[in-house]
Amino acid sequence: MKPLRHLAPDEAAALIDDGMTVALGGFTAAGAPKAVPLALAARARAEHAAGRPFRVRLLSGASTGAADDALAEASAISFRAPYQSSRALRQQINAGEVAYVDLHLSHVAPMVQAGLLGAIDVAIVEATDVTVDGRIALTTGIGVAPTFLRSARRIVVELNRRQDARLHRLHDLAVLPPPPHRDVIPIHGVLDRIGGRRMRVEPDRIVGVVETDADDAVAPFGADDATCGRIAEHLVRFLLDEVAAGRLPPGLLPIQAGVGNVSNAVLAALGAHPDVPPFEMWTEVLQDGAVDLLLRGRITAASSCALTLSAPARARLLDAFDAVKDRLVLRPAEISNHPALARQLALIALNTALEVDLYGHVNSTHVLGTQMMNGIGGSGDFERNAYLSVFLCPSAQKGGAISTLVPMVSHVDHSEHSTQVVVTEQGLADLRGKAPFERARLLIEQCAHPAYRDTLRAYVASAPPGHLRHDLGQAFALHQRLQATGRMLP
């Protein structure tokens, strides 16, 4: 077979023209391409300096780390989907300079298959190995790479020598067929496998291999603060009470946990509590805290889409690779986030919220209803379909200037029909089977910051009668005061 063509990063970037759709492998910074996006940003700056237009349509599995930052700072993105966490890109999205489509992450692969996000001109993926017959071994993040590789007209492989060559042994790579050719996904346990360890593509679509030696550069989480710790304590106590009541089995159910310090603190608390038995995880991102529990045997099995780990945590995992390789699986996002599997496996879903209103509607994405933060990510995939859906958040932000509990959320990502439990450092509200007026009382008394409880009580008391008691003239009074003064409190 013809040998694969090796390129420098700028030579690979030269294959991409203005207006093309580029798809990046990986999921978060884990497994995301590192060299070619930076070279593409440099090319964009050079084209702009010469007075020529140069922007691309960018797809990914989730956020990308340095790629989004570099391309946004070079004004090289015209369209972005399905999720991002870049400050520079966020500013451009909110200024209307970049068209942004915020998607449930489980929807991306089928939308690509259907052509709804445009034809993919170039897919760029990171690998530990690529063979002349087109077999590609991916790295720490799978994301939507398998579908991108199937769909792209041309493929560039970043061969990263920094990534461990054993990683593909964790992978279970499968691409679901489009309707009406689907069948039941035969996954009945966290470690069940349905795919292969490498992706195979036609070799003539691989237009270049770029040698790299770069770290995923995932920042370690900050130390758990008192707020995170109290949220974790309330949740652990609730889960143990659910076991005692017979609503959860003694070994719990597989746990899905979102990204961030709060989720990390909750996992640490679960692992440390003497009454919590070892448990399983089925999630989209495995973070530092989960790795430590996996190594200690507190997590017995884990399925994820990415190893979003700081360098020390990744080193600990790889040092113990032989001990954990049979208890850890990495899958594409279409599988890790699949709604049917979330329901079939009966997950306990733990996700975070920007704000929650008095009846359980949750805003995960937009500040003041208009300014995009990051995106919905995978939270919607899980919370609507889990056996137990929990939202975690502090009761107030910015030193108390912003209440997380509000009369009416300024944007709805998750409706009250899916929100079962809300936890803040103040307490926990179990909303299951509760009518709206009961939900409002529980959320105010159990979860709201004390400084805002009288305001929220007065709102409910003065609102006109209705199934949901709302005063449309005052529903956004706290948000309006925040816009005017920088604080929700008078």
Instruction: List, by residue number, the catalytic residues.
Output: 284
Pairing of the two strands 348-352 and 388-392:
parallel
Host H or E run for residue 58:
strand 56-59
Read off the tokens for 265: 């603190």
Q: What are phi and psi of 157, to 5 degrees?
A: -110, 120
Count the residues in the chain.
490
With tokens 């899980």, the residue in question is 382
Residues 6+ apart with CB under 8 A from 277: 250, 251, 252
Distance CA 105, CA 61 (A): 7
In whole angstroms, what is the distance from residue 226 CA to residue 466 CA? 38
Angle, in degrees to the nearest 10, between helices 311-319 and 288-295: 20
98 — phi, psi (to 5°)?
A: -125, 130
Which secondary-structure segment (H or E) carries 147?
A: helix 145-151
Whole-number Å distance between alpha carbons of 59 and 122: 10
Helix/strand/coil for 396: strand
Distance between CA 391 and CA 226 in Å, rounded? 18
Side chain identity at residue 147, one-letter code: T
Please provide residue 453's backbone torsions phi and psi, each rounded to the nearest 5 degrees: -65, -45
Instruction: Compute how many other C-beta atoms are within 10 angstroms of the C-beta atom of residue 408.
Output: 23
Please say whether the beta carbons of 275 and 253 come within 8 A.
no
User: Is the Cβ–Cβ distance between 139 and 126 less than 8 Å?
Assistant: yes
Instruction: Give the type of residue at 141.
Output: G
Distance CA 299, CA 317 (A): 13
Q: Are 245 and 268 in contact (CB under 8 A)?
A: no
**What span, in angstroms and rounded, lies between the C-alpha atoms of 228 and 3?**
53
Q: Residue 326 corresponds to which tokens in the numbers above?
A: 């049979």
> What whole-number distance in Å separates Cα of residue 356 and Cα of residue 410?
9
